[in-house]
Amino acid sequence: MIVFDLECGRGHRFEGWFNNSASFKEQTLKKLVTCPICGDIRVRRVLSPVATKTARPEPEKAPDPIDYGRLAKEIVHYVNTHFEDVGSNFAKEALKMQYGVCEKKNIKGSATAAEEKMLRDEKVEFFKLPIPRTEDDKNN
Residue, of 75 and 60, whose pLDDT is higher: 75
Question: Does 89 reside within a domain?
Answer: yes
**What average pLDDT does the structure give for the chain?**
87
User: Is 13 inside any structural domain?
Assistant: yes
**Same domain (yes/no): 80, 36:** no
121-130 mean pLDDT? 90
Domain check: are 123 and 81 in the same one?
yes
Total number of domains in the chain: 2
Residue 138 lies in a domain: no
pTM above the 0.85 mark?
A: no
Same domain? For 42 and 72 the reply is no
| Model confidence pLDDT, tens digit, residues 90-122 | 999 999 999 999 999 999 999 999 999 999 999
Comparing 7-16, 26-35, 113-122, 124-133, which segment has the lowest mean pLDDT? 124-133
Answer yes or no: is 53 within a domain. no
SS3 29: helix
Q: Does the pLDDT value for residue 49 go beyond 70?
A: no
Would you say residue 55 lies in a domain?
no
Distance, CA of 90 to CA of 59 (rounded, Å): 50
Q: Could you tell me if 77 and 41 lie in one domain?
A: no
| Domain contains 52 | no
Q: Give CB contacts under 8 A, 24+ apart, made by 73-80.
A: 75/129, 76/131, 76/132, 79/108, 79/129, 79/131, 80/131
Instruction: HSE, CB side, 13 Å, CA atoms: give it for residue 113.
Output: 0
* Residue range(s) defining the domain that contains residue 31: 2-46
Give the model's pLDDT for residue 64.
86
In a domain, 136, yes or no: no
| Residue 133 pLDDT > 80 | no
